[in-house]
Amino acid sequence: MRLLFPPYTRLFIFLLFPLVISLTIISMSLSPAADNLPLSMPDAIKEARQGNPDAMLTVARQLLTSADPLLHEDAFGWALYAARLGHPEAAELSGYLYRTGRGVSKNDVKARYWLKKALKSGADGAALELALLYADESFTGRNRDKAEAFFQIALNQRDPHACLLVVQSKYRHGIKPSFFVPELTCAANGGLPVAMRMLADFIDNNPSPHAQSEARKWRQNADKLDHKGINP
C-alpha cells in the first residue's frame, strides 16, 4: 500500500506520545454540534425507536452535547444498540466511550473490540482511536508498535485529527510550517478551524497575488465553523 505521508514511527515515539493523553480534541470530534446533525431530535428519537441505526447514532451524538452525565449514559446505550446492528460509526463511538469512560465505566478491552470492528467496517476515525488506546499508559495492553501502526493508518486515511496531531507536535518543537504543509492542509481540508487559521497564516507569507484572498477564505470558513460550535 502506497503511503500518503512518510512513516512517523520515530516521530510518534518522541513527539506524539507525550500529547496523547492531553489531546482531547480528537475524541471530541465524535460529538458534533446539534445544528450539524441531519435530523431534529424528536424525529431522530422516533426513528431510533423504530430501529433505525443512523437515527440511533444521531440521538447518541446529540445527547453527548449535553453537560448532564445521565444523558451521556443514554447516549452510550443508543450508540451500543446501533453498533450491535452493524453501524460502523456507532461501533467507533461505542469504542470511544468505553475508552474514555464517558457514559459508561471505562473498559479498554471492550473499547478495543468495538474499535477494531469499526475499523474493519470502514469507520473513518477508528484507526486513530486505536492508536490513542494502545498509546495510553493506563491500558494494560499498551503497545507502542501497534499505536504507531494504527496512527500511520489514520494518516494514510487522511484523518484530519491525525494530521492535526502531527502539525501540533512539529509546531511545539519549533519546526517551521513549510515542513508540514501536507499535514496542515489535510487537517484544514478536514474542517478543523484551528488548522484553517494556521494555514491562513502560512499562506499570508506567500508572495502570490492571490495569497491574501485565499487566506481570507480559510479564516472565513473557520469562523463559520466556530459559529456552529464545531471545534477545533
The answer to whether 44 and 55 have CB atoms below 8 angstroms apart is yes
Give me the numbers of helices (H) and strands (E) for the chain, helices first please. Answer: 13, 0
Residue-wise pLDDT tens digits, 197-231: 999 999 998 888 889 999 999 999 999 988 765 55
Residue-wise pLDDT tens digits, 57-76: 999 999 999 999 999 999 99
The answer to whether 104 and 114 have CB atoms below 8 angstroms apart is no
Predicted local confidence at residue 25, as pLDDT:
38
Question: What span, in angstroms and rounded, lies between the C-alpha atoms of 147 and 131?
Answer: 4
- Burial class from Cβ neighbours inside 10 Å (0-12, 13-18, 19+) for residue 65 reads middle
Q: Report the percent of the chain where pLDDT is more than 70.
A: 81
Residue with cell 470530534: 29
This prediction has a pTM of: 0.81
Predicted local confidence at residue 206, as pLDDT:
85
> What is the mean predicted confidence (pLDDT) over 161-166?
93
Predicted confidence (pLDDT) at residue 77 exceeds the cutoff of 70: yes
> What is the mean predicted confidence (pLDDT) over 122-135?
95
Predicted confidence (pLDDT) at residue 154 exceeds the cutoff of 70: yes
Q: Which residue did the predictor score with more confidence, 180 or 20?
A: 180
Please, which residues have CB within 8 angstroms of residue 135's CB and are 6 or more apart in sequence?
A: 16, 17, 20, 142, 144, 147
* Longest pairwise C-alpha distance within the chain: 57
| CATH H-level, domain 24-157: superfamily | Tetratricopeptide repeat domain (1.25.40.10)
Question: What span, in angstroms and rounded, lies between the C-alpha atoms of 205 and 186?
Answer: 19
- Per-residue confidence at 39, pLDDT binned at 50, 70, 90? low
- Per-residue confidence at 123, pLDDT binned at 50, 70, 90? very high
